[in-house]
Structure 1
Amino acid sequence: MKLDYKKTFILGLGFFSASIVWPIYNNYVPIMLEEYIESAALIGAIMTIDNLFAVIFQPLFGSLSDKTNTRFGRRMPYLLIGVPLAAIFCFLIPSAASLASLMTFVIMMNFSMSIYRAPTVALMPDVTPSPLRSKANGIINFMGGLAAVIAYGVGGFLYKSNHAYPFYMASVVMVVALILLYSFIKEPKAVQLEEEEKIHQKDVSKNRSLIFMLFAIFFWFTGFNAVETFFSLYGQYILNIDAGDASILLTSFSLAFLAFAIPAGFIASKLGRKKTILLGIIGALVVFIPLIFIRNQLMICILLVIGGIFWACININSYPMVVEMAPKGGMGTYTGYYYFFSSCAAIVSPILFGWIKDMVGSYEPLFLYACVAFVLAFICMLCVHHGDISKEEMEEEKIKTIAENM
């Protein structure tokens, strides 16, 4: 079996279009809110709307897409509704003339994004054979990382010319991505979703593995989100560097993840997904433990680059493991589970570490906190016994694919 790279890169455009929005949204919407709101805490609360909506609506629309059966497919109707709406409200955000209109556009854009995010991601396992999903997810995440780089780079340049231009760029990218997805991606025929009771009766062990897998996802995103959120303050108060230098240091982590996203999928195809994730967690711990003590910027940069490589091993292979455990016709629902737990971590972790910082009076425990979270993720992963793919299953999938193409 060979991965259809053209189809996979086109699939990645859906993730690309969503990923180009969030850096622009996170960078510039707080500046707009500050014109009307003095409280930083209230601005921060407003900026968590995307994660709250991800927890509430993405599992809902992912599950609904499993049960949808139209001439446009199961997932595509949600893209055809959500993407144009998200593009319109993103386009309108910089034109807001009052707090009420700005909040309306922000809330509606976040809701519209929630409509199509899980169905878009579920398209990948729908059209990609099981053994190739880690490779495909690597490409899709590479596309998402590339979108973030473009959003920061090109978006920053456009923002200097006109504050509205980055939002216009994101809106155009979303519409173009939708046109390409609709034109080139043909969904497989709808399959009937198995009843929840039958799933539970059929394989209790698989359900147990799913629970541990989802908690592993929660814990490693708990560690990652704390570092991502507080590293600039850690740099300022612990490393004695300014926020700009801290941002550059953390960018080395993100760039390493981007560079290793595709190779991480290929490694999993050789070692297996679970082994690759466990290797990634061990590697992340090997990096984060020294960071508890090291204060030298060059050493920190080197370790963060290595950490980004191991983070790719974890992040690229977790979603394919979750959907591997999905019942027939349940890819959207299980995609929703994945985003529910990862989004919960994004909500809980900054609050939890913020509380710890207030208790100890320092940002110094940041990497210790991350290490504890990754250890918990490692323990959970040891209890996961499904979601990988055996050599026998790879051969069966190969024979099945050949037969379908004859």
Structure 2
Amino acid sequence: MKLDTKKVFYVGLAFFLISLFWQTYDSVITKILIDKFGLNQTWSGVVMAFDNVLALFLLPLFGGLSDKTNSKRGRRTPYIIVGTIVAAFAFVGLSFTDNLQTTMIESETQIVEKYEDYLVEKDIMLGGVFKGSITTRKAELNEEYAAIEVLYEDGEYTFDEYWDAIKVAHDDYLAWKEEFALAIDKWEAFNTEVLLEKMNLDLANESISQAKYDRWYKNVYLNMELAIANAKTDGGLSQAEYSYWADEIYDGIYDASLSQAAWSKTMSQPGVFIVFVIVLFIALVSMATFRSPAVALMPDVIIKPLRSKANAIINLMGTFGGILSILLLTVFALDKKSYVDYTPAFVSVGILMLILLAIFLWKVKEPKLVEEKVAEDIKYGLTEEDEAKEKNESVEELSKEKRRSLFLILISVFLWFIGYNAVTTKLSDYAPKVLGMGFSMPLLIAQGAALIAFIPIGILATKIGRRKTILIGITLLTLCFGSVFFITESTSFFMYIIFALTGIGWATINVNSYPMVVELSKGSNVGKYTGYYYTFSMAAQILTPILSGILMDALGRKILFPYAALFVGAAFITMFLVKHGDAKIIQKESVLESFDVDMD
């Protein structure tokens, strides 16, 4: 009894293209909704929850329909063909609406030009001030003079060389002083001509309340004026002050002003947005039509004893699909800046989906593979005669302790998906605007670290059990998310380390959680318990983009990672109370069997 890995690989191409689509969707659509159409965090979260709302209804619907389908291509393949083709063309179609919106807002608001200019202006404005106070710079100049004097006295310099060095140091100081003054002037102008003007306009338009305006005026505007006055006399900025003004004040308010301009244009001319949502809806429905059939295809063609290994290979392929998406976004330089052309991403993913489908159809002949599987069942005496007896079993028939453990596991699933999905959905907006870095590299590192960790995680789970392994993963993920709150633009390189650990933490949780759920099932009701798992995970993924968006609108983008850490950390409590769901320790043929998990 040996697994045909080549067959599993080709069957898994469907899952590969599914993961390729969803990683790109999560990374790009949020940025388009916020940057191009001007939606706030809350409403962008509502749109991003569409796919999970649809999935709750459409996955079981089309899964059931495919069970009853009888065609020349089999039960599952027709859905994979139609769904992939429609989704690929719809995804490419999103690029046209994105370009139309970009052209419209740029022609009337110059939003792209303003954004590019701002990136330069901010560096001049704050970068110049941060170079130090006048007193500090004078002290540095005197140190340079003293060093030059020593070199002259030691005979290292002739008098002419000594005098030239003094002049260069003095000229550098004068140039710095001029740049410093320019930065102060730009800072002051930005404070009064951009920020104050915007807030006054928002107050007049009743976009904000008088109380909110008063708080902003007292806590932000007056403090900024004081900082400007200090900088003019001698103050300069400390590293902490620089990070605060750059990350919290400038970027936050300026990004909001650009989004407001885009939103105003969207409201005055909503046609493009309506078309965008319709095309997006078509893409999401198309993906939902073949997700369940694609997942169900593997059990149709692989005998029971080999399904764990086969599922591991397919889920690893899904991870590689996500990595390919991130690499594409990085290569096309779409992961850092806003207001960019996303056409290369949409078109590339659409073409790759069609290519992968073509290879799938070439290599996967579903009816033939099903016949081979039936023959293997007969050969090895694998019958499912007890299925009918078990079909009516339900969660109520579990013992009280096992039922309690099942509910605690499902609540844990809900909690950690609340935290993790908030990060994956909002990171493409958070990373460029809070940390001034691209979002794709941290995600790529997380995926790569997870791949490396899969086998050690499987070995660890067999030695200490799934529950203890998950608790380790929860602890690691909570610490990672909590630490991001303290990362600033100047320390953003730590994100790569944190996300490497994040990938390991998430893999540790995800590899072991689904098997804990189905461990409590019996034979043919595995699908029912899989449904419980999906219901709780998708409910979390529906809620969290909206809930995190509301908090980010109210408290700022920096609340994202504390929010995620709180919910993931809460899962530690519920998982700690679980008493059942660990597998009996038996010798496995391969550590791949530890990967029997949906990596979604």
**How big is each residue's C-alpha offset from its partner over 1:331-374, in whole Å with a ceiling of 9 and x where there is no partner?**
33333332222222222122222333344x23334333222212
What is the deviation of 1:64? 6.6
Alignment partner, residue 17 of structure 2:
17
Q: Is 1:325–2:520 an aligned residue pair?
A: yes
Tell me: CA distance 1:151–1:243, structure 2 relative to 1, closer, same or farther (3 Å): same
Alignment partner, residue 212 of structure 1:
408
In structure 2, C-alpha distance between the alignment counterparts of 1:307 and 1:34, rounded to whole Å: 26
After alignment, is 199-208 or 165-174 more displaced? 199-208
In structure 2, C-alpha distance between the alignment counterparts of 1:166 and 1:267, rounded to whole Å: 36
Q: Is 1:362–2:573 an aligned residue pair?
A: no
Q: Alignment length, in residue pairs? A: 387
What is the deviation of 1:43? 6.2
CA contact (8 A) 1:213 1:380 kept: yes
**How big is each residue's C-alpha offset from its partner over 1:284-324, in whole Å with a ceiling of 9 and x where there is no partner?**
23433444435433333212212211211111222222233
Which amino acid counterpart does residue 464 of structure 2 have in structure 1? L
After alignment, is 249-258 or 373-382 more displaced? 249-258
> SS of the counterpart of 2:558?
coil
In structure 1, C-alpha distance between the alignment counterparts of 2:34 and 2:481, rounded to whole Å: 35
**TM, length-normalised to structure 2:** 0.54
**How big is each residue's C-alpha offset from its partner over 1:29-55, in whole Å with a ceiling of 9 and x where there is no partner?**
679889996656766644432121122
Asked which structure has the greater CA Rg, the reply is 2
Identity %: 34
CA contact (8 A) 2:405 2:578 kept: yes
Which amino acid counterpart does residue 323 of structure 2 have in structure 1? V
After alignment, is 209-218 or 325-334 more displaced? 325-334
Alignment partner, residue 385 of structure 1:
579
Match of 2:359 among 173, 176, 181: 176
After alignment, is 106-115 or 207-216 more displaced? 106-115
Match of 1:278 among 456, 465, 471: 471
Alignment partner, residue 116 of structure 1:
290
In structure 1, C-alpha distance between the alignment counterparts of 2:345 and 2:394, rounded to whole Å: 56
CA contact (8 A) 2:476 2:505 kept: yes
Residues 95-244 of structure 1 mapped to structure 2, 5 A cutoff: 95=93, 105-122=279-296, 127=302, 133=308, 137-154=311-328, 164-177=347-360, 180-183=363-366, 186=370, 191-192=387-388, 194-196=390-392, 200-201=396-397, 203-235=399-431, 241-244=435-438
Alignment partner, residue 92 of structure 2:
94
Tell me: CA distance 1:279–1:327, structure 2 relative to 1, closer, same or farther (3 Å): same
After alignment, is 219-228 or 384-393 more displaced? 384-393
In structure 2, C-alpha distance between the alignment counterparts of 1:393 and 1:69, rounded to whole Å: 38
> SS of the counterpart of 2:523?
coil
CA contact (8 A) 1:221 1:342 kept: yes
**TM, length-normalised to structure 1:** 0.76
Alignment partner, residue 268 of structure 1:
461
Gaps of 5+ in 1: 396-406
In structure 1, C-alpha distance between the alignment counterparts of 2:81 and 2:450, rounded to whole Å: 27
In structure 2, C-alpha distance between the alignment counterparts of 1:336 and 1:32, rounded to whole Å: 32
CA contact (8 A) 2:62 2:290 kept: yes
**How big is each residue's C-alpha offset from its partner over 1:193-242, in whole Å with a ceiling of 9 and x where there is no partner?**
734456523544433332222211111111112222334554456xx532
> SS of the counterpart of 1:192?
helix
Alignment partner, residue 79 of structure 2:
81
In structure 1, C-alpha distance between the alignment counterparts of 2:277 and 2:402, rounded to whole Å: 42
In structure 1, C-alpha distance between the alignment counterparts of 2:581 and 2:49, rounded to whole Å: 31
CA contact (8 A) 1:323 1:331 kept: yes
What is the deviation of 1:147? 0.9
What is the deviation of 1:82? 4.1
> SS of the counterpart of 1:293?
coil
Alignment partner, residue 402 of structure 1:
none
Q: Is 1:298–2:460 an aligned residue pair?
A: no
What is the deviation of 1:109? 3.4
> SS of the counterpart of 1:355?
helix
In structure 2, C-alpha distance between the alignment counterparts of 1:333 and 1:235, rounded to whole Å: 39
Tell me: CA distance 1:64–1:314, structure 2 relative to 1, closer, same or farther (3 Å): farther
Which amino acid counterpart does residue 20 of structure 2 have in structure 1? I
Which amino acid counterpart does residue 200 of structure 1 have in structure 2? E
In structure 1, C-alpha distance between the alignment counterparts of 2:557 and 2:542, rounded to whole Å: 19
In structure 1, C-alpha distance between the alignment counterparts of 2:348 and 2:55, rounded to whole Å: 26
CA contact (8 A) 2:484 2:495 kept: yes
Which amino acid counterpart does residue 52 of structure 2 have in structure 1? N
Which amino acid counterpart does residue 214 of structure 1 have in structure 2? L
> SS of the counterpart of 1:364?
helix
> SS of the counterpart of 1:391?
coil
Tell me: CA distance 1:327–1:62, structure 2 relative to 1, closer, same or farther (3 Å): farther
CA contact (8 A) 1:209 1:385 kept: yes
CA contact (8 A) 2:31 2:428 kept: no
CA contact (8 A) 1:15 1:143 kept: yes
Alignment partner, residue 404 of structure 1:
none
In structure 2, C-alpha distance between the alignment counterparts of 1:353 and 1:30, rounded to whole Å: 13
Residues 34-73 of structure 1 mapped to structure 2, 5 A cutoff: 39=39, 45-62=46-63, 68=67
Tell me: CA distance 1:363–1:64, structure 2 relative to 1, closer, same or farther (3 Å): same
After alignment, is 348-357 or 156-165 more displaced? 156-165
CA contact (8 A) 2:393 2:525 kept: no
In structure 1, C-alpha distance between the alignment counterparts of 2:500 and 2:519, rounded to whole Å: 30
After alignment, is 108-117 or 193-202 more displaced? 193-202
CA contact (8 A) 1:16 1:146 kept: yes
What is the deviation of 1:70? 7.0
CA contact (8 A) 1:63 1:332 kept: no
In structure 2, C-alpha distance between the alignment counterparts of 1:29 and 1:290, rounded to whole Å: 26
Which amino acid counterpart does residue 492 of structure 2 have in structure 1? Q
In structure 1, C-alpha distance between the alignment counterparts of 2:563 and 2:31, rounded to whole Å: 30
CA contact (8 A) 2:44 2:549 kept: no
Tell me: CA distance 1:8–1:151, structure 2 relative to 1, closer, same or farther (3 Å): same
What is the deviation of 1:71? 7.0
Which amino acid counterpart does residue 248 of structure 1 have in structure 2? M
CA contact (8 A) 1:138 1:264 kept: no
CA contact (8 A) 2:326 2:444 kept: no
In structure 2, C-alpha distance between the alignment counterparts of 1:195 and 1:86, rounded to whole Å: 32
Which amino acid counterpart does residue 418 of structure 2 have in structure 1? T
Which amino acid counterpart does residue 285 of structure 1 have in structure 2? T
> SS of the counterpart of 2:515?
helix
In structure 2, C-alpha distance between the alignment counterparts of 1:273 and 1:132, rounded to whole Å: 19
> SS of the counterpart of 2:84?
helix
After alignment, is 189-198 or 320-329 more displaced? 189-198
In structure 2, C-alpha distance between the alignment counterparts of 1:380 and 1:34, rounded to whole Å: 35
